[in-house]
Amino acid sequence: MSPAVPQHCPSPRELDDLELLTSGALAPLTRFDEPGSPITLTLPDDVRLAAVEAGAVEIVDPEGLPLARVAVPGGGIEALTHAQYGPFRDHYLTPAQVREAYPGRTFVPVAGPITSSQLEELSSRGSLALVALVGAGTPSLSPVALLRATRLAAARLPDAVVVAVPLATHGDADADHALGVQVLATYAGADPVYALAETEDDEFPDDIAAVIDFDQPPADERGLVLFFTGLSGSGKSTLARALMDRILEQGTRTITSLDGDVVRRNLSAGLTFSKEDRETNIRRIGWVAAEISRHGGLAVCSPIAPFAETRDQVRAMVDEAGGAFFLVHVATPLEECERRDRKGLYAKARRGEIPEFTGISSPYEIPTDAGVVVDTTGRTIDDALDDVVQALKTSGYLDLSVVEPNPPVVEPGGAPATPSSVVEPGGAPATPSSVVEPGGAPATPSSVVEPGGAPATTVSKPADLTANPTPEPTQGAAPVVEPPDAEGEGVSKPLNVLFVCTANICRSPFMQLAAEHHAAGDPTLAFDSAGTHGFRAHEMDGVMAATLTPRGISGVEAFKSKPLTRDHLAWADVVLVAENDHRSFILSEYPEVFRKVFTLGQFAAASAEHDLRGADLLHDLGQTRGVADPALDVADPYRRGDEAAEAAATQIDTLVQQVVSALSSHHLFGKEA
């Protein structure tokens, strides 16, 4: 009897590639794993072994429907069936079908929503076939939104049809471009291909803008997974519960709780505390949480989750589902958890009665990517919770400070109650908060067992700067009263200004420090900076830094560079970049922020023509922003000598002064208010 052909459900990218291979869209390519081709199929070791033995692997979709048989080795494909479902399936046509149905048209590749000016450009180009490139990993819109937007564009053109082609991205822009050209040529056959010009214009017809808005909700409307990790007894459940109460009191979101103990009694009943079972447990929690986030829901998870790799997997699952993942490391040291020993488990573990107990005989790997680190030792629950609430607010995901005014709470007996403040046994005065700064300020020390189960040691959290999603304003934390006509009347919030250049070591640090200098403690403004390809934790470039002192600008010693993340953008009310290229980069990677990204020169020029200031100015410019004149760019002075640095410094200093003065509301609503 010949060995059974194993089944395998590949990644979304590989499924898209399979569809293109079997439809003939990648002709002359017809198989996986041709030398030098990005169209590859990776099999897990056990599947590969079985496939080699059987001579083939059967590719199935996520629901187990066999799609194709792939020869192993060799990669040759025998198609079994095509995917027959999915939104707008009728638009998914093979090149042969397209050439038969739509001959004589001009073929237009569409990778993002078509703008108003592009529509105008297309309206005079005759009969069109808009080819929407909707594969896995497409950067701008989700596949279904790109198809919706392209259909709306087609309806606005005199004669256009829409074809969907699942061309996935392969992590290499050049290879993807070459594939795109090849696929378009195959679809067009003898007909012309017309590539839309890149446009700085980001105005869309209302119906297309609505599709974009629905697909890219603002940070505080996205699905959110709040993931508490830490040792048993560290305070995960207590803090998670208190946070959920606060969210429910605010009344803007519903919540699903996935507490460690509760999950183990239900979803993960029967699992042990072996490494393998813990990983299964966390992946189950992650899967459910990601599905909740897919629909804009909020999941609060509080398992120990001791392994970095599994936490990363959860982050990736949530990311794939379009949700935001926010990691809270409850870093209460082992000694304190053991002192609490609420369930008596540590004592048992010390006596050897519980094998593989986290912190005693099983490792806990300290997160280096937490959004906030909280040590609850000697603090009230409310105080520790405030760290989490503050970090969430800074991240842009959840702002719990906007609440309806509370009626006074009256104690039995009639006296007004003092604010609730639960002090635990042994509860000493609060220690300072340890929100992780973008600059990677070390957290309070936390005791951990290192991987491998070595005895607990006291370590400081590594100064990780990569994935920190909580840019902290460098000043302006003091509350201000908003202009009476601004949104959120009476709510305290500075305007957050993010400066961006390439590496975050020359121009954008100068912008940030100069802005802080000119704002002179203005509480209505907060500043930060990052680089599109930012170095991590570098000092400012020495040549550029030398231009600061003669201008009386300080703060360079504390400065550390960082790469730009989505979370920095979420934090910012306005993003001011050095050059047009930075703007294009941000718009292609994070199209949802298009209303708030300007070049510094563009913003300064536009604000000079305005009477409005502060939030009103931002709002108005967000609606009417035009093309950024490249002549207003701040050229890169890096490694171009003292003169270039001095010229950039002078240019930036002037522009920043204008911007600070235009954005400040201090003279109106600051100290005097």
Ligand X SMILES: Nc1ncnc2c1ncn2[C@@H]1O[C@H](COP(=O)(O)OP(=O)(O)O)[C@@H](O)[C@H]1O
Ligand Y SMILES: Nc1ncnc2c1ncn2[C@@H]1O[C@H](COP(=O)(O)OS(=O)(=O)O)[C@@H](OP(=O)(O)O)[C@H]1O
233 makes contact with ligand X (CB under 6 A): yes
Please, which residue, 232 or 651, has the CB nearer to ligand X?
232
| 41 C-beta neighbours (distance < 10 Å), count | 21
- The single residue among 94, 115, 238, 434 that binds ligand X, judged by CB under 6 A, is 238
The first and second tokens of residue 169, run together, are 């991205």
> CA 57 to CA 60: how far, in whole Å?
9
232 makes contact with ligand Y (CB under 6 A): yes
Q: How far apart are the first and last CA of the chain?
A: 86
- Binding flags for ligand X, 274-313, as an x/- string (CB under 6 A): ----------------------------x-----------
667 makes contact with ligand X (CB under 6 A): no
Specify the DSSP class assigned to residue 16.
H
The first and second tokens of residue 422, run together, are 């639960």
Which of 524, 456, 532 lies closest to 672, judged by CA?
A: 524
Which of 229, 244, 239 lies closest to 329, judged by CA?
A: 229
- Binding flags for ligand Y, 352-391, as an x/- string (CB under 6 A): --x-xxx---x-----------------------------
- The single residue among 68, 160, 162, 282 that binds ligand Y, judged by CB under 6 A, is 282
> CA 600 to CA 578: how far, in whole Å?
6
Task: Specify the stretch interacting with ligand Y by CB under 6 A; choose among 35-43, 149-157, 299-307, 635-643.
Answer: 299-307
| 294 C-beta neighbours (distance < 10 Å), count | 15
- The single residue among 22, 140, 150, 232 that binds ligand X, judged by CB under 6 A, is 232
281 binds, among ligand X, ligand Y, none (CB under 5 to 8 A by kind): ligand Y
b (16+ CB within 10 A) / e for 258-281: bbbeebbeeebeebebeeeebbeb
- Binding flags for ligand X, 441-460, as an x/- string (CB under 6 A): --------------------
- The single residue among 237, 377, 508, 512 that binds ligand Y, judged by CB under 6 A, is 237
The first and second tokens of residue 359, run together, are 């912190």
Q: Is 393 among the annotated ligand-binding positions?
A: no
Q: Which residue has the tokens 């109106």?
A: 668
> CA 625 to CA 647: how far, in whole Å?
27
- Phi then psi for residue 152, to 5 deg, are -65, -40
**Contacts (CB under 6 A) with ligand X, residues 362-401:** 376, 379-381, 384
Which of 315, 482, 310, 498 lies closest to 401, judged by CA?
A: 482
357 binds, among ligand Y, ligand X, none (CB under 5 to 8 A by kind): ligand Y
Q: Which residues contact 463 (CB under 8 A, 6 or more apart)?
A: 440, 441, 442, 537
261 makes contact with ligand Y (CB under 6 A): yes
329 makes contact with ligand X (CB under 6 A): no
CB of 293 to ligand X, least distance (A): 22
CB of 257 to ligand Y, least distance (A): 13
Which of 506, 519, 537, 533 lies closest to 473, judged by CA?
A: 519
Give residue number: closest CB to ligand X. 235
Give residue number: closest CB to ligand Y. 260
278 makes contact with ligand Y (CB under 6 A): yes
- The single residue among 239, 569, 570, 655 that binds ligand X, judged by CB under 6 A, is 239
- Phi then psi for residue 444, to 5 deg, are -65, 150
Specify the DSSP element, H or E, that contains 146: helix 143-155
18 makes contact with ligand Y (CB under 6 A): no
664, 517 in Cβ contact below 8 A? no
Residue positions in the annotated binding site for ATP? 230-237
Which residues make up the interface to ligand Y (CB under 6 A)? 232-233, 237, 260-261, 264, 273, 278, 281-282, 303-306, 343, 345, 354, 356-358, 362
Residues that bind ligand X (CB under 6 A): 230, 232-239, 302, 330, 340, 342, 376, 379-381, 384, 424
